[in-house]
Amino acid sequence: MTITVKYFATFCLETNFTQQEELTIEEDTTVIELIELLTARYGTGFEKRLFTAEKELDPLCWIIVNQQRLKEKNDFQLKLNPGDTISFSPPMLMGG
């Protein structure tokens, strides 16, 4: 199945400025499995931006599947669906 992955700001520093890409992944791939795939693709720097030293999700990282933000570790077991959009971003700011 195909999904869209978006990388914002500091995450773009890990993807060599790829802002957005279509990825073909296996059915029932979970969010954490996608993160593992992206870490293999872009290096451990990608993973380090997501998790603290204690392997908790860094509260300053936003992972958004479609319009829904994932905040708990359990959310990472969410299975992705064809056509989903997943975004990796630092906290979003407005007004500058």
Partner 1 sequence: MTKESYGWQGRILWVDLTTEEISTTPLDKELREKFLGQSGINAKLLYDNLEPGVDPLSPENHLIFGVGPLTGTLAPCSGRFTVTSKSPLTNAFGDSNCGGHWGPELKYAGYDHIVITGKAKRPVFLWINDDKIELKDASKLWGKTTNETEDQIKEELEDEKVQVASIGPAGENLVNFAAIICNYSRAAGRTGMGAVMGSKNLKAIAVRGTNRLTVAQPQEFSATVSDSEESILTDPLYEISSTFGTPAIMRMAQSLGFLPTKNFQESTFAGADKLSGERLLEKYVTRQKGCFNCPVSCNRYYEVTEGEYEGTTGEGPEYENLGAFGSKCGNDNLPSVLKSNDLANKLGLDTISTGTVIGWAMELFQRGILTTADTDDLDLEWGNHQAIIKLIEKIAYREGLGDILAYGALQASKKIGDSAEDYVIHIKGMEYPSVDVRGTKGMALGFAVSPRGADHLKALPLYEVAPEVYQEDIKKELGIEVGEEYWKKYETKPELIAWHEDWHCIVDSLGLCKLEGIALKPLRPCHFTELLATATGWEITEEELRTIGKRIWNLERLFNAREGFTRQDDLPPARILNEPISTGPSKGETLGQDKFETMLDQYYKLRGWTAQGIPSKETLKELGLEVE
Interacting residues with partner 1 (CB under 8 A): 6, 8-10, 12-13, 17, 19-20, 59-60, 64, 67, 87, 89-96
Report which DSSP code applies to 15: T
Question: Which residue is associated with the tokens 């802002």?
Answer: 19
Report residue 78 CA to chain centroid gap: 12
- Smallest gap from Cβ 33 to partner 1, in A, equals 24
19-25: long-range contacts (C-beta < 8 A, 24 or more apart)? 25/1, 25/80
Nearest distance from C-beta of residue 19 to partner 1, angstroms: 5
Between residues 27 and 94, which has the closer beta carbon with respect to partner 1? Answer: 94
Is 12 exposed, middle or buried, given 0-12, 13-18 or 19+ CB atoms closer than 10 A? middle
Nearer to partner 1, 9 or 32 (CB): 9
To partner 1, the closest distance from the beta carbon of 17 in angstroms equals 4
Whichever of 82 and 95 has its CB closer to partner 1, that residue is 95
